[in-house]
Protein backbone atom coordinates (compact mmCIF):
# COMPACT_ATOMS: atom_id res chain seq x y z
CA UNK A 1 0.00 0.00 0.00
CA UNK A 2 2.97 2.32 0.58
CA UNK A 3 3.64 2.45 -3.16
CA UNK A 4 0.01 3.42 -3.86
CA UNK A 5 0.19 6.21 -1.28
CA UNK A 6 3.46 7.48 -2.77
CA UNK A 7 1.87 7.54 -6.24
CA UNK A 8 -1.05 9.66 -5.00
CA UNK A 9 1.32 12.01 -3.15
CA UNK A 10 3.20 12.52 -6.42
CA UNK A 11 -0.05 13.87 -7.91
CA UNK A 12 -0.44 16.33 -5.02
CA UNK A 13 3.21 17.39 -4.77
CA UNK A 14 3.22 19.92 -7.69
CA UNK A 15 0.39 21.90 -6.08
CA UNK A 16 2.23 22.06 -2.77
CA UNK A 17 5.52 22.97 -4.45
CA UNK A 18 3.81 25.79 -6.33
CA UNK A 19 3.13 27.39 -2.93
CA UNK A 20 6.65 26.75 -1.64
CA UNK A 21 5.85 23.56 0.29
CA UNK A 22 6.18 19.83 -0.02
CA UNK A 23 5.10 16.56 1.60
CA UNK A 24 7.14 13.52 2.57
CA UNK A 25 5.70 10.11 3.31
CA UNK A 26 6.94 8.85 6.67
CA UNK A 27 4.94 5.63 7.13
CA UNK A 28 1.80 3.71 6.27
CA UNK A 29 0.52 1.73 9.26
CA UNK A 30 -1.37 -1.54 9.03
CA UNK A 31 -4.49 0.14 10.45
CA UNK A 32 -4.72 2.48 7.44
CA UNK A 33 -3.06 5.50 9.04
CA UNK A 34 -0.72 7.46 6.79
CA UNK A 35 1.99 9.55 8.46
CA UNK A 36 3.39 12.46 6.50
CA UNK A 37 5.61 15.45 7.13
CA UNK A 38 4.68 18.79 5.60
CA UNK A 39 7.78 20.76 4.71
CA UNK A 40 8.76 24.20 3.49
CA UNK A 41 5.98 26.76 3.51
CA UNK A 42 3.45 24.01 4.30
CA UNK A 43 5.24 23.13 7.53
CA UNK A 44 4.70 26.57 9.04
CA UNK A 45 1.49 27.65 7.33
CA UNK A 46 -1.50 28.28 9.61
CA UNK A 47 -3.69 26.59 6.97
CA UNK A 48 -1.59 23.39 6.95
CA UNK A 49 -4.25 21.39 8.80
CA UNK A 50 -6.73 22.31 6.05
CA UNK A 51 -4.21 21.21 3.42
CA UNK A 52 -3.64 17.98 5.30
CA UNK A 53 -7.29 17.03 5.91
CA UNK A 54 -9.18 18.63 3.00
CA UNK A 55 -6.49 18.07 0.40
CA UNK A 56 -4.08 15.23 1.08
CA UNK A 57 -6.33 13.03 3.24
CA UNK A 58 -9.40 13.51 1.03
CA UNK A 59 -7.52 12.55 -2.14
CA UNK A 60 -5.78 9.58 -0.52
CA UNK A 61 -9.09 8.21 0.80
CA UNK A 62 -10.71 8.74 -2.59
CA UNK A 63 -7.94 6.89 -4.44
CA UNK A 64 -7.20 4.26 -1.76
CA UNK A 65 -10.33 3.33 0.26
CA UNK A 66 -8.26 1.38 2.82
CA UNK A 67 -6.81 4.66 4.14
CA UNK A 68 -8.51 5.68 7.38
CA UNK A 69 -6.58 8.81 8.40
CA UNK A 70 -3.64 11.02 7.49
CA UNK A 71 -1.63 12.55 10.32
CA UNK A 72 1.29 14.94 10.39
CA UNK A 73 4.39 13.91 12.33
Calculate the CA dihedral of residues 63, 13, 58, 53 and round it to 10 degrees. 150
CATH for 2-72 (3.30.300.130, 3.40.50.460, 3.40.50.2300, 1.10.10.350): 3.30.300.130
Angle subtended at Cα 60 by Cα 69 and Cα 53, rounded to the nearest 5 degrees: 55
- Verdict on whether the full-model pTM lies above 0.85: yes
- DSSP-derived secondary structure letter, 32: S
10-residue averages of pLDDT along the chain (73 residues): 95 92 95 95 85 93 96 93
Q: CB under 8 Å to 8, separation ≥6 — which residues?
A: 59, 60, 63, 64
Q: Are 62 and 45 in contact (CB under 8 A)?
A: no
The residue ranges of every structural domain in the chain are 2-72
Amino acid sequence: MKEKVQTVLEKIRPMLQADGGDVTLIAVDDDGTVKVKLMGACGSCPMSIMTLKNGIERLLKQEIPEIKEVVQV
